[in-house]
């Protein structure tokens, strides 16, 4: 079987994901934490079945976009990256439950519940990990229990942006994948291996 069409397709998909992720960090500056980056990492892990590709996508998005944005301490950067990488595990978990668009169509409520649950989980992971790193620096909050509580309390208003963004972008990305894969399957000749079409 000729794998070149798949390589070209996957390369184009990765480039589109990178373009969306990089441009969003400039276009959505007025909406703190309302970005598709976590959803992109989750989808990359799902589509490519690889933590490495998802991590590479995250690294390229952050490196390329940080050139034009204000820099922040490395401790916070590590916390942000760590929080976003949680999405990669959730993407692989979704793949293990729903390997094709046909699987999603067979159990739409379960798939939708798992997707929204995953979006909530990665929002919460980002909130906890990134804000813990802010507190652990000891620069803005004392390294005490009350300092930790104050740090998290100050970040609560931003959580709604993270959650809304993750919910919307996850639904958009995975919904687009399901729609395209379903249409491809329905228009494919019967002699074609249906499972191969909806493999991703």
Least confident stretch, 3-17, 125-139, 143-157, 168-182: 3-17
pLDDT of residue 146: 95
- Residue 200 confidence (pLDDT) above 80: no
pLDDT of residue 71: 65
Chain mean pLDDT for the chain: 87
Least confident stretch, 65-74, 108-117, 141-150, 158-167: 65-74
Query: pLDDT (tens digit, 9 = 90+) per residue, 62-121?
Result: 888 876 565 677 778 888 888 899 999 999 999 999 989 999 999 999 999 999 999 999
pLDDT of residue 168: 96
Residue whose structure tokens are 């652990």: 136
For the chain, give every domain's residue range: 4-197
Residue 89 CA, chain-centre distance (Å), reads: 10
User: Are 40 and 24 spatial neighbours (Cβ–Cβ below 8 Å)?
Assistant: no
């Amino acid at each position: 079987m000729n794998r070149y069409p798949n390589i070209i397709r996957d390369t184009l998909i990765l480039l589109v994901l990178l373009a969306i992720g990089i441009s969003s960090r400039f276009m959505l500056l007025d909406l703190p934490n309302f970005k598709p980056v976590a959803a992109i990492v989750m989808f990359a892990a799902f589509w490519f079945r690889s933590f490495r590709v998802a991590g590479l996508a995250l690294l390229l998005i952050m490196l390329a976009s940080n050139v034009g944005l204000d820099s922040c301490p490395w401790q916070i950067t590590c916390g942000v990256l760590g929080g976003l990488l949680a999405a990669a595990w959730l993407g692989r978990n979704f793949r293990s439950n729903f390997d094709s668009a046909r699987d999603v169509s067979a159990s739409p409520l379960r798939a939708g519940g798992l997707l929204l649950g995953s979006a909530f989980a990665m929002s919460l992971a980002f909130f906890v990990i990134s804000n813990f790193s802010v507190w652990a620096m000891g620069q803005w909050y004392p390294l005490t229990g009350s300092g930790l509580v104050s740090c998290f309390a100050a970040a609560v208003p931003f959580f709604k942006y993270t959650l809304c963004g993750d919910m919307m972008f996850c639904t958009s990305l995975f919904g687009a994948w399901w729609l395209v894969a379903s249409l491809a399957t329905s228009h494919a000749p019967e002699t074609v291996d249906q499972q191969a079409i909806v493999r991703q």
